[in-house]
Structure 1
Amino acid sequence: MMVPVALPDPALPPVFVHSGWRCSSTYVWSRFRALPGVRAYYEPWHEQLATLTPERIARETPRASGLRHPGDDVPYLAEFADLLSPSGGVAGYQPRFALDDYFLPAGRQDAAQTAYVSGLVGHAQARGQTPVLACCRTLGRIDWLRRRFGGFHVVLIRDPLQQWLSFHSLRKRPRPTYFELCQYVLLSEAAEAQPLARQLGLPTPKAGGLVRRIAAVRRRLKRAPARTSFTAFLAIYLLSYLKALPQADLVIDVDRLGQDADYAAGIGEALRAGCGLAPDFSDCRTPPAHDAVPAAPYRRISRQVIDALDARAALAAPGPAALLFAKLSKAMTDAPEPPASMRRRLAGWLSETLETLVPRRRRRARI
């Protein structure tokens, strides 16, 4: 079964919401979903769509997720219910769409992915609904999507340290979470970051299907320290936003969205002016900062990652990257420094002791 591709309706252009994981995208999607005349697809590039069934749609709800998402028992994926193929899975979806094509070059042709997205857009438009596609896997391919589907593109951005800590806080044991594993997979396959990927010991790019690649990084890095996880996350964070921000029609700072009522109201008005939809963000509340911060040299890691990606000039340039630089700078200013090692503490004590003893010895020698 193929998704029927309707001719695009210029009166109902699509809205794309691009985000990283744990960046309030579920909340923002839920606000669009609450609007009349909107068909809001949740994570339409997620690999689980390849095997989606009616039973799984009914089972996957915010209450059951354990991910601290807004909502209760309304299934996340209800909008896909009438797009399932008889053999299972969303019609037209291929698992490679999830992460294989995360950094999809704008000029690359991909007939299957184009047909899939066209089907989702057309399915909503044929019912007189505005299609909204919100996903955590599209920051690296906004340009590709814009060239083919036009529409209005919203980018969500969050404090990078708090975003990574949200990944880390979901660990039920000292093993990397799914979100951390995805960062490892993406970094292992990012052309711009191969030296860094090899330095972290990541597997060879695209060795098998996605499930196999996630399993490979889990085996290799299941005991990796926090600094390794944060390094991989920050590299993908920077690469993603350096690609995404110049293509955005609107950037939403989700840290401010829940703290500043005027900012939230202004974002609603900007959306109304840009795409004709005005979701209500008045109930948005920024979660408290994570108190449990694993010991790691976050500032040194950030400098090393920036240098490894040769990103200093891009971050310092005026324009869209200014917000990215501001978010990173504030996060690193607030980041705790790890306690000094025993060797460093001993060296410091010896240095201080010598500084106090040497002058006394000199005075005695003169007497």
Structure 2
Amino acid sequence: MLTDLRLRDFRCFENLAVDLARGTNFFLGLNGQGKTTILEAACVLLRLQSQRVSSLAPAIQVGKNSFGLRGIFDGHELEFRYGRLQRRVTFDRVEQRTFQEYLRIARVVSFANSDIELVHGGSDARRRYLDFLGTQINVTYRPTLRAYERALRARNALLKSLMPRTRERAAYDSMLLHHGAQLLRLRQEIAAILAPSATAAYARISGGHETLELQFLPGASEDFRRDLVHSREEEARLRQTVVGPHRDDFELRIDGMRAPQYASEGQQRSAALALKIAQAEAFHRFSDKTAPLLLIDDIFGELDPERRNALLDHLPLNSQKLITATAMPWRSEITADAIYELRDRQPVRERRT
């Protein structure tokens, strides 16, 4: 459990300290008070990445050169300092040269209104969803992903040159094929883990009246090399790699119909919730039964009471939750261990009566 969180020069906060309860923590306040930033800081501290954006540079407060995050998680002291030129990670006051052991300590699942993009948005969001899970349950996933991204950037740079030499191109193809085949296999495994859990979660949310199917759509066939050869003409025209895991996707169907085209907004939101519940269940199964930290960012206002209750009823029981909202008209329906109201960007803890 994350029992202490401290921010320095992180987005709108110059200095902030929050002592968190071990169960359900609510952060209430108007938009612009920094509720989402607190959740983001927890994610960045534990996972060294944001659930909101791909780059951490914008999180550095305007006019500053770096940010710092500290916290206590399950009795361990964590610290992450990030600057434009360097980053520093310490675990129990010992600086970490590699992040593998550090990243094993905690798992995070983030719920947000933008999750509906997983259903009707572009494939980038769905790949990030797979990657966010993969990097947390498989220690080889992150280095494999980074290696493929490097190989892809290098090959695309070569394709942009006027006349890439055959021997040079073969070398770049070899790197892409090697790392791409590994990443493709890992994503297929992740999708296979998620699919039945998402189906079961959607059935619970919908009361069993509808079915959800998740089908992985690989960006290359089992014969990746052949796909590259067959795409030569299109690559020459576009000057970029057109097949490979960077084109991976998955499709969602509700009662056999493609969700982006035929599902209602309510059904799409239910499908997005099912995907996140499946993610949480996967963490619980693949990390010594340890429940993930759940970051639930201002989504209750968009959910009707049935979907809200279905979400709360099917989250891991022993998970710590950080939840934001602008108001809590449904407060009596939820047991909260701590409620903070943000005033002038400072959290004031509500006293229990």
TM-score by length of 1: 0.29
More helix per residue: 1
Higher Cα radius of gyration: 1
Q: Which has the higher contact order (CA 8 A, sep 6+)?
A: 2
